[in-house]
A and B are shown apart, each in its own frame.
Chain A
Amino acid sequence: MRSRIISAAFLLCLFSTGCKKDVDLKPTDSVTEEVAFNSVAALQKGLNTAYATYAVARADRSFATSITSDETKFGPDNGGTGQFGYRLQYSADATTGGDVTTGWAAYYAVIDRVNRVLDRLPEIPANGTAEVAQKNSINGQLLALRGMAHFELLEAYSKKYDAADPLGVMIMTRSCLTCFPARSSVAEVVSRVEQDLADAKAVMPAVTASGYNDLALNPVSVTAIQARVALYKGEWQKAADYATTVITSGVKTLATGSGFTGIWTDANTNELLFRSRFENSSQLGANWTNTNGSVIFSPSDKLTASYSASDIRLNAYIGTTAGERYVKKFSTSSRGGSIVDLKNIRISEMYLIRAEARAELNDLAGAVADINTLRAARIAGYTPITYADKATAVADIMLERFRELAFEGFRFFDLKRKGLGLQRNASDVDSPLWQTLAASDKRFVYPIPADELLANPNVRQNEGY
């Protein structure tokens, strides 16, 4: 008896103090990233997460820019949603600035999800040619997403392009939880974006029209992004060249009739170079009109009036229910009301980019050819036009971008890029205070969220906030 108790006691003491391995437990319900990223298939899952995160950021941008531009007016059922954005009264704090500041964290989340996978990618072995190709493709898609996310941040949170502007955005090329970076200059950010896009294209396998997957970025869609960047910088020739490359690749062509209207109900993927999937989520669709049909923001009178009656876009983009106009472009699919995919890059944008670039290069014939092609696809019985001078041409092309790309997240940045200022129709506002916004106004640059400034002392706020 005695010896047994002694030995038991001592064994226990030994156990308790000697053996730290005993407390080295492993989680069962979740895993660490080291465990999760164990194969090329896992890298693909990481990429999927990055795409899903991008979809959220881009959907948010589409909404935010539509309420701070002349695309929308305050909806009849709106109890205050987005009021500070719409009234151009946003500031850095979450209460008044929430509409325009959420994009900041949303896009950095995209960049972080990309970097988390990129950080792991080199150590994951690829077996066989198929896996090698897949890994390369994943690598390219991640780089392209990172470039695009940095670019879209720059559009929102910095002034119109000026390489010398020190207030670009923070550049993140690896995942880092406790980094508190400063903003890089616009030149540095643009150079990073261009590098990522070029690197992406270098490793991506080529694609063709047959079996084109618009859910994954590829050399063609990355070229489309390059066209956007060139346009943003005013590198007209480059912009035109990239657009030409995309158009002549033939992966997508302009659609007409139900081939066009079907794009907006997810019935087909015509024209779509890059799309974000919302399988069962109303995250995009419920922005302007909520799930029970209340119209929060309606298409503006200005936008509605910009379409001729024979323009297919009028009824494809703008719906009417119980006498109220609503944003139909992102409103429904066969999967249910408000559940609809986000169309990120369409072929029509390439015609518009090339038209603008050509006009700026004084190639008025080339410019008008692209505009005529696009309008012929959209307007029944369209009669081709010609441009008399560059100014008219550019103005007409900007109008066409307004019509074609409404609610897709371009208008506000087009106004900024072109220094046009915001001019809303009197009928679209309930006060003249927010009818116009001068091109020089600070609000063309969204504020950096107050949370960032509190957490990160290295970041400078934009002028005036």
Chain B
Amino acid sequence: MKRLTLLVLCLCMLFQSAFSQSRTITGKITDASGAPLSGVTVSASGTRAKTVSKDDGSFTLSVPAEARTLEFVYVGFATQTIEIGSSSNFNISLKPATAELGEVVVTGYGNVERSKYAGAASKVSEKAIRNVPMASFDQILQGRAPGLTILSGSGQPGSSANVILRGPTSITGGSSPLYVVDGVPVEDAAFQGINANDIASIDVLKDASAAALYGSRGAAGVIVVTTKRGKSGKMKLGYSGQYGVKFAPEFGYDPMSTDQLLKAQETLGTVIPTSTMSEWGTFPVLPGWQYSANNPNKIVGGTVVPKTAADFTFGNNQLDSLRRIQTNWYDEFFQRANFSNNEISLSGGEGRTRIYTNLGMYQEEGINVGTDMKRVSLRTNIDYRDQKFTLGMSSQLSYTRRNLELDPLNGFNNFINQFGVAQLTPQYVTPKLPDGRYNVGNGFAFFAPTTLDKRAFDKVYNNQIKGILSATANYDFTKNIYAGLVAGLDFRETNNITYNDPRTFTAKTSTNVRTQSGSMSEAITRFFQPTLRAYAGYKNTFHNDHSLDAAVYGEMIRTYSKAITATGFGVDTLRPNTLAAVTPGNAANQLFQTVGGSRSESALESFMANVKYSYRQKYSLNFTYRYDVTSILPKENRGEDFYSIGAVWDIAKESFIRSRAINALRLKASWGQSANANNFPFGDFGYLTLVNPSATLQSAQQGIVVETVGNPEARWEFTNTTNIGVEFSLFNNRFYGDVQVYDKSTKNLFATLSLSAASGFGSQSINAGTMYNRGIEYNLNYDLLKKRDLTWTIFANGAYNKNKVTSLGTATSFELGTSLVTVGLPIGSHYEVKWAGVDAATGAPLYYTKDGKLTTNYSTDDRVQDYGTSIPVITGGFGSNLTFKNFDFSLFFNYAAKTSRVNNMEFFVQSPAFLQQGVNQDAGYTFWTKPGDIANVQSPLYQNNFSSRLIQRADWLRLRNVTLAYTLPQNILERAKYISNARFYISGQNLLTWTKWRGLDPEDSNNISSTEYPNPRAITLGLELNF
């Protein structure tokens, strides 16, 4: 509190300042087409003189005699500075902000001109985001900002991606950046309700200058989203429509046809002992061998007996009929899916008020039949601005409904995932019986039809209501002193429904009375996060040379979460899919309904100071201090200080730079500290030992049971980031971009301490260990052609990040999922026994022992870690934008390299053991059958084990987006009275992929591929009209 009072006193003293003689300057501001621009801020640099242009674009400004330059600032346009000289009237034409060096960095705590911003920030423009047929905007950012690694976990409509900025900063906590929309922090990975077409720009803040602004939450980076605001002028009606198709996925390998599989089964049969064959019957596991004319025996009652002549005939007939069945399971499960998006917008404003409103209706089918997403979104942004007061109101309301994939990623043990069974079920099985019912049953042959049967009845879907509201108010008390308030709200209510119908084969064959009777489960989760921030600041320029902007902030954020779940059994099939139709439970039917729920709360309160100083625009300094107090740490560790400092040297402004080729050249450096509260893994009360005071024990008595032992010494994970960057614009601003190098060191890693059994528990969450991410990033743009009717720009960005765990406290490694975190290696390093091929003489699988010797003995003790990591080391994107007359054409590629993943599917489709169980196989592999065979997989007589054979390079290059657009020329539009602008386009998404990965999609967020929903290819046609 003392701190604050002092600061405010200082501000008040600076308030007083002398006035001097002045002159009046007038003028008019227009855009490139000559239309007047109102609301442009006009100021005399180095003075307090400031005004805003009127509706007709005119302005009048009284400036002190010493004023030398005028500055024109307007959102969406390049800031323009002109010499005043002796003129007193100026007609100014503002150019749209294109060359990114001139732009403004939106930090969420005010805007900073890039030239004075000491940190590393990438801006993703509206153009890159607009009209991409994906419902979650984080997925669209892929390849757009260097250092931002976006791994789409799922291609299911509306799914969020796994986003990592400059490498993982945590082991158990996660590395999701903080998202801020219009100044208000929002929940991550919940973007299905946000219409990406409402986004004007996205600033990706990567270094400590930005991170320290967010203190305890900034360590994993900050993604600041700014939505579109109304454009001044007459209210304009716009329509945007998009229609498209998404294509069904393709196999990552060639599945065996019916003939190939039957042949493979026959080959297998000659190798395995006859006694392991199944009983002679009408649908054996291995028809290719059982019915084979080369197989003289059959199994009856568990014993091997010779086939009779009738058996041979029967077998031949059976094989003939099986050969006629060629089911393409992908066609049964997947589809060419439709996509459409329709939006109506209004934008405009007279005088001081501007409005932007957009109603969007998004509809996307999934390539997996039955999955889809529908969204209705309404955004309304209202801005008010007069000479002293600005007010911005932003609101986003949306309703989303998603039909989800049944049993996503559900392990291979129960084989009900659709992407899994479609690959594993033999093609000689028919999906349906002649009577129209699905060909259900037990065993591998029936997994696909059984899953289809389940899909016909069961449903998993969710409804989500999402609201993001924010209001920002700023008041300039004087030319120097300003203060303001930001209030915001992030609200989400998700209703998840799981309906299991009693008519499915799965339900009917269950031994559990509740499963048999069908179930209906509803869960409602609510997330509610209000933010309130107040600030006061002082800005001034002294003696024309020193400009200063200092502000203090107070902020509070509360997060409330709540969940209610209800499950009932014994559903009435006449009324499927409602809780109203469940049967009340009693002792006789055992169909007891269950009700559960949870709620929790956390709070963060902060004080912050931010100082920006610049000397002649040549040397700039940024300083940030933040004090965060949180509810989620133990009392003694709650309050924490965070600092950052940064400097910019604008070399191009130095007199010794004479070369005209250098338009801008800036050297930037920053250092600061932040923490990873946003990915805190211990829960809201993880510092306490928490118990359930009335848990039901297996003795049916009530007990006090410890739920979590807690970490009474919990602290933040602290990340120190050092960043050095160069920004440049050369050769008439035709070649521009930036290069950044950084070092992010994290300490106090969230880790797990193994305990002695004497503690009564196995492990405790603690803070231990250190890790670093070091890397380099570049963003380069070159305007190849810059003619009136022809412009052509090529661009490329990329990043290299080296991640390394440098300490884990007392441990040297610990297992995390299927990978092992080890000191000296990056996170995500694979951990498997090294595969050495197949012994040609015996068919035995060969492995390497830890010390590199060949062995046929598989032992998990021989697991080593020299297969790289699942988190790509190199990422980037490149492309080209070409404009010719009314056409524009853009190409965008992105890639990830130095990454490998475990292909779990190959464990099943390249395995004689699974072939023996009736699983369809990859047509492209061979297994050992006789001495001398050079095969990639061992003899069926040997067990199949997880080894490095399954680890594959998952590097990829994708043609992410290609768009061709045509804008109707003005002379045609003038004839069509009511249309002011019309644009048509066709675009393709993910059209081409180059990869050695043999799974469905190389681009995924985990180290082992299961049966994830792949990213589809899509083609979209679109139309944009302005009236």
A-to-B contact residues, CB < 8 Å: 2, 5-6, 8-10, 12-20, 22-25, 27-33, 35-37, 42, 45-46, 48-49, 51-52, 55-56, 95, 104-105, 108-109, 111-113, 115-117, 170, 172, 175-181, 215, 276-281, 283, 292, 449, 451-452, 454-456, 459
Contacts and interface: CB of A to CB of B under 8 A. Distances in A.
B598 to A, nearest CB: 5
Per DSSP, chain B at the interface is strand
B824 interface: no
Contacts of B753: 455
A12 B631 contact: no
B33 interface: no
7 contacts: A17-B554, A22-B605, A46-B704, A48-B697, A178-B755, A181-B756, A452-B757
A459 B556 CA distance: 49
A23 B684 contact: no
B82 interface: no
Contact of A175 (B473, B703, B760): B760
A15 B639 CA distance: 15
A32 to B, nearest CB: 5
A204 B755 CA distance: 34
A31 B700 contact: no
B701 A9 contact: no
A278 B698 contact: yes
Interface stretch (B150-158, B281-289, B532-540): B532-540
B697 A179 contact: no
Of the candidates B511, B554, B606, B860, the one having the most CB atoms from chain A within 10 angstroms of its own CB is B554
B927 interface: no
Nearest to B707: A30
B699 A16 contact: no
Interface string B294-335: 000000000000000000000000000000000000000000
Nearest to B639: A20
Contacts of A8: 485, 534
B702 A45 contact: yes
Interface in B489-548: 511, 532-536
Of the candidates B532, B607, B757, the one having the most CB atoms from chain A within 10 angstroms of its own CB is B757
Given A22-B603, A104-B757, A175-B760, A45 B694 contact: yes
Contacts of B754: 451, 454-455
Interface string B754-765: 111111111010
B994 interface: no
Contacts of B701: 45, 48, 51-52, 277
Interface of B: 1, 3-4, 8, 473, 475, 477, 483-485, 511, 532-536, 552-556, 598-607, 627, 629-631, 635, 638-639, 684-685, 688-695, 697-709, 753-762, 764, 860
A19 B598 CA distance: 28
Contacts of A117: 704
A145 B603 CA distance: 43
B697 A52 contact: yes
B600 A45 contact: no
B758 A172 contact: yes
Contact of A177 (B532, B536, B709): B709
A111 to B, nearest CB: 7
B510 to A, nearest CB: 12
A113 B726 CA distance: 60
B693 A455 contact: no
A16 B483 CA distance: 16
Nearest to B814: A454
Contacts of B760: 108-109, 111-113, 115-116, 175, 177
Contacts of A105: 757, 762
Contacts of A36: 691, 693, 704
Contacts of A276: 699
A105 B692 CA distance: 21
A2 B598 CA distance: 43
Given A23-B603, A112-B761, A42 B699 contact: no
Contacts of B693: 31, 35-36, 42, 45
A416 B932 CA distance: 53
In the complex, the 5 A-B pairs of residues with the closest C-beta atoms, listed nearest first: A112-B760, A13-B554, A49-B703, A279-B700, A16-B554
A15 B1 CA distance: 9
B758 A12 contact: no
Contacts of B690: 27, 30-32
Given A27-B684, A108-B758, A176-B759, 10 more contacts: A5-B483, A8-B534, A9-B554, A23-B631, A25-B602, A25-B685, A31-B690, A48-B703, A95-B860, A104-B757
Contact of A17 (B607, B709, B764): B607
Nearest to A2: B477
Of the candidates A28, A37, A281, the one having the most CB atoms from chain B within 10 angstroms of its own CB is A28
A25 B607 contact: no
Contacts of B755: 177-178, 455
A16 B605 contact: yes
Given A29-B599, A32-B691, A283-B698, A177 B638 contact: no
B704 A37 contact: yes
A15 B554 contact: yes
Contacts of B694: 45
Nearest to B702: A45
Contact of B1 (A17, A104, A176): A17
A116 B707 CA distance: 14
B554 A33 contact: no
Contact of B758 (A23, A31, A181): A181
A454 B708 CA distance: 22
A459 B692 contact: no
Given A33-B689, A36-B693, A25 B603 contact: yes
B11 to A, nearest CB: 11
Contacts of B635: 24
A180 to B, nearest CB: 5
A454 to B, nearest CB: 6
Contacts of A449: 757
A179 B698 contact: no
A6 B483 contact: yes
A355 to B, nearest CB: 33
A31 B708 CA distance: 11
Contacts of A2: 475, 477
B268 to A, nearest CB: 21
Contacts of A456: 756, 758
A49 B639 CA distance: 37
Nearest to A101: B757
Nearest to A110: B760
Contacts of B602: 25
A29 B599 CA distance: 7
Contact of B699 (A24, A48, A454): A48
A49 B1 CA distance: 48
Of the candidates B483, B688, B693, B707, the one having the most CB atoms from chain A within 10 angstroms of its own CB is B693
B638 A9 contact: no
Contacts of B477: 2
B1 A18 contact: yes
A112 B756 CA distance: 12
Contacts of B484: 5, 9
Of the candidates B4, B629, B695, B758, the one having the most CB atoms from chain A within 10 angstroms of its own CB is B758
Given A13-B607, A28-B600, A176-B758, A52 B536 contact: no
B486 to A, nearest CB: 10
B1 A23 contact: no
A17 B756 contact: no
B703 A52 contact: yes
B535 A9 contact: yes
Contacts of A279: 698-700
Contacts of A454: 754
Nearest to A16: B554
A81 to B, nearest CB: 16
A82 to B, nearest CB: 19
B700 to A, nearest CB: 4
Contacts of B535: 9
Contacts of A14: 1, 4, 554
A18 B2 CA distance: 9
